[in-house]
Structure 1
């Protein structure tokens, strides 16, 4: 049984990665329904929380059915991160996660996210202060290093454990790689082989099929996996991986009716949570993924991303259901 603090997550938990502009409550809802064991919010700026910025504060929204749920924060100032941790804890999450992995220039080049991998001592000090500031379990999401020459992930995991984190998720790329090239999970083996390390280690990067999940589980000895991009528009990936790990058999792909049903659920929650205008706007990035691979779909996608009312989007989805009624994925 994998545990984070007192939270029991099952034998091999699958985590939904925190993704900016993706991992909001509507998206988390459909991932939870389809097998995600632990989810995190989008990353939240520590400075935004302290200033009470509306966009940052809204990201604190969590719902009972999501549990266990973690709130993730990022920043480059220790005092600000400590204060933000206390604000995040007050929102009632089960876990507080620290983002030490975001590779985006505007974050990393200010010393936040993956930028802190250039200053491991500061990373450890910041983590220690956050652990002391809250009562809930603290976890970390990070990368292997800033670049190949600065990979110290075995040392980093051990030192962060020593100051109190209760799990670590490692994206098996460097910051320099961004999302390019192949993730190198061999470093996760090195982390797991450290006899001093006792906290769960979750692997992240390139898990996009049940077969790959099974291969990497057997090969790299991780305690669970964090899935990001493969879940966008395809929340079924969690249950598909679980089923394959248990039985060695692949589930059939969701049919059109199921895809339409989940897309509508996602849309409904998005509109309910953010209002019609913003809810429709923020759903636009998901349509292509829900219906990926369907032939001659471009015109329908264009209609969806230009529609301005909830009723209009629903009508287009209904039309897709009629036109592609016989399509088999």
Structure 2
């Protein structure tokens, strides 16, 4: 069993990555249905939270059916991080996660996310500010370092553990790699094998199949695996991986009916949470992923994109079911 503070997870847990504009409550609910063991909110700006920004506050929504669930924050200012930790405490998630890994320019330019990889002393101070201002377990997600010539993850792991974090997720790329090239999990294995490291170490990067999850589990000895982009439009990846690890057999790919069912649920929950107009608008980015590889689907994709009510959307799904 893997423990983060008083949170008990399975022997080898699978985590859903916090992804901006993806990992909202409707999507998390779907991934939980298909076997995700621990999930996180989209990342939330600490500055936005203390300014009472509506978008940031909306991201604090969590529901009992998705527990255990963590809220992830980012920022480059110690006071903002400590104040936002206190705000997060009031909504009672199971843990707080700090994002030191987001490589996006607008975040990095503010000295937050992966931008903090250039200043490990600041990373330590920001972590301390969060740990000291919450009663919740604190975890961190980060990358190997800024670039290939500055792989600093060894120092980061030791120093942040010393500050009191209770788990560390490592995306096995540098910031300069963004999401390109191959992730190098050998660095994660080295952290895991460091006798000083006592906290759970989770690996992230390039896990897009059950076979790869098994291979990386056995090769690198991590305590669990975080799945990110491979879960978009593919929440079944969690049940596929778990089935393969348990039986050595691959589950068949989802049928058209299962794809429709998942997309329909996702859209319904999205509308319930965001309202019909916004919920349907924000679902558009998901349809291509749910129906990836389906031949002659272009006409239906257009209809899914133009549906302006849940009722219209349901009738498109019925047409797909009947005609394909």
Task: State the alpha-carbon separation in 2 of the partners of residues 264 and 170 from structure 1.
Answer: 33
The answer for the alignment partner of 1:29 in structure 2 is: 29
Q: Does 1:270 align with 2:277?
A: no
CA distance in 1, matches of 2:200, 2:262: 32
Counterpart of 1:4 in structure 2 is: 4
Q: Show CA shifts across 1:65-119 (max 9, x none).
A: 0000000001111100111111112111001000000000000122100000000
Other-structure match for 1:74: 74
| Residue equivalent to 2:319 | 319
Distance in 2 (CA, whole Å) between partners of 1:109 and 1:299 is 41
- Name the structure 1 match of 2:87: 87
Q: Which runs of 5+ in 2 are unaligned?
A: none
**Cα distance in 2 for residues equivalent to 1:43 and 1:49:** 11
User: How many angstroms apart in 1 are the aligned matches of 2:299 and 2:99?
Assistant: 38
- Hey, what does 1:176 align to over in structure 2? 176
- Separation (CA, whole Å) in 2 of partners of 1:251 and 1:48: 43
Deviations 1:11-39 (A, max 9, x none): 00000000000000000000000000000
Counterpart-to-counterpart distance in 2, 1:306 and 1:181? 36
| Structure 1 residue 46, shift from structure 2 partner | 0.5
Deviation (angstroms), 1:306? 2.0
The runs of at least 4 aligned residues of structure 1 exceeding 3 Å deviation read none
Matches for 1:286-325 after TM superposition, within 5 Å: 286-324=286-324
d(CA) in 2 for partners of 1:236, 1:16: 12
Where do 1:47-58 residues align within 5 Å?
47-58=47-58
Calculate the aligned-residue CA RMSD, in Å: 0.7
User: In 1, distance between residues paired with 2:144 and 2:24?
Assistant: 26
Q: Structure 1 residue 299: deviation in Å?
A: 1.7
- Looking at structure 2, the residues matched to 239 and 103 of structure 1 have their Cα atoms a distance apart, in angstroms, of 29
Which residue is equivalent to 1:16?
Answer: 16
Q: How far apart are 1:254 and its partner, in Å?
A: 1.5
CA distance in 1: counterparts of 2:109 and 2:157, whole angstroms = 22
Q: How far apart, in 2, do the equivalents of 1:168 and 1:108 lie?
A: 20
CA-to-partner distance for each residue in 1:218-247, whole Å, 9 max, x for gaps? 100100000000100010000110111111
The total of aligned residue pairs comes to 324
**How many angstroms does 1:172 deviate by?**
0.3
Distance 1:304 1:198 in 2: 49
1:120 partnered with 2:136:
no
CA distance in 1, matches of 2:300, 2:183: 35
2:177 is the alignment partner of 1:208:
no
TM-score, normalised by the number of residues in structure 1: 0.97
